[in-house]
Amino acid sequence: MKSIVTGGAGFIGSHMVDALVGRGDEVHIIDNFSTGKREYVNSGAVLHEKDIRDFDSIAPIFHGVSKVFHLAALARVQPSIKDPCTSHDVNSKGTTNVLVAARDAGVGRLVYSASSSAYGNQDTLPLHEEMEARPMSPYALQKYTGELSCRLFSQIYGIETVSLRYFNVYGPRQTTEADGVYATVIGIFLGQRASGRAMTVVPDGTQSRDFTHVRDVVRANLFAAESPNVGKGEVINIGTGKTYAINEVAAVIGGPTVWVEPRLEPKRTLVDITKAKELLGWEPTVDFKEGIEELKKMCGIVLVVSV
């Protein structure tokens, strides 16, 4: 099977490539290394150093492709607030280019990496797919419109698509402080503790998140690419159904904390994964605390404090 992974040198994308190469696929990576890393590129894949904003350069790669996993994006909320135009070009225009290239090449199915940020702040929990989208940032809006584009392309052109809304993905190769504004909270905390510093917590640390291990996200993509129950632009939550306060995350990692300036973000996320179970036959397998312990060992953090 010939597959494309856009953003295949990134955090989630590189794990996706590893899984596809491992099962024997002919895998093509499209990445411009704006946030991806060359050391994450699987030597068994074909690398195309291209930008998804350049349709003419990426379109030929799609010929003869069976599955597309579209993970390329400028992720994170704060960068999109600072520079909404660039974020829009990559996340909106880039997604349209990928969809058109897949349509023109007759790709079998496209799995789109959507974002739980589309929910914004909701009045009730858990979050389910029938809720009204309430994006709170340009990034959240762009990822949400990507879902709508996927569904529209399925309706108009007949290309099979499915959108997976990820909830706070963590694991090996996650973004860290070195990635600046693109860093994730667990990556920041682990980097701070590995260097002996206090973890920086946004007051008052009671905001909570549903954290999902990258191995489970990869499994969800593989299931979505093959399931006979999807392909018409469905939106499906990919999370754990459990939520942890940031204070709890810091306690699991272990060590001192300090307050930093608050930022624009939802107060709490907790996901309903009923559709993932019913349509994909998927549910998470990695326990959060076990996942954190694995990362602590990788970072050389020996302090163990549990909650």
Neighbour-count burial for 248-267, b at 16+ CB within 10 Å, e otherwise: bbbbbbbbebeeeeeeebbe
List Cα–Cα distances, 27 to 11, 75, 79, 108, 172, in angstroms: 17, 23, 30, 15, 21
Residue 157, number of CB atoms within 10 A of its CB: 13
| Chain center to CA of 174 | 10
CA–CA separation, 231 vs 234, rounded Å? 7
Contacting residues for 252 by C-beta, under 8 A, at least 6 apart: 244, 288, 289, 292, 305, 306, 307
Reduced to 3 states (helix: H, G, I; strand: E, B; else coil), residue 29 is strand
Q: Of 73, 246, 84, which is closest to residue 166 (Cα–Cα)?
A: 73
Q: Report yes or no: 138 and 285 within 8 Å, Cβ to Cβ.
A: no
Q: Of 148, 149, 162, which is closest to residue 67 (Cα–Cα)?
A: 162
In 64-137, alpha helices (H): 77-82, 84-88, 94-105
Reduced to 3 states (helix: H, G, I; strand: E, B; else coil), residue 291 is helix
| Chain center to CA of 55 | 23
What are the catalytic residues? Answer: 139
- Percent helix, strand and coil across the chain, each rounded to 5? 45, 20, 40
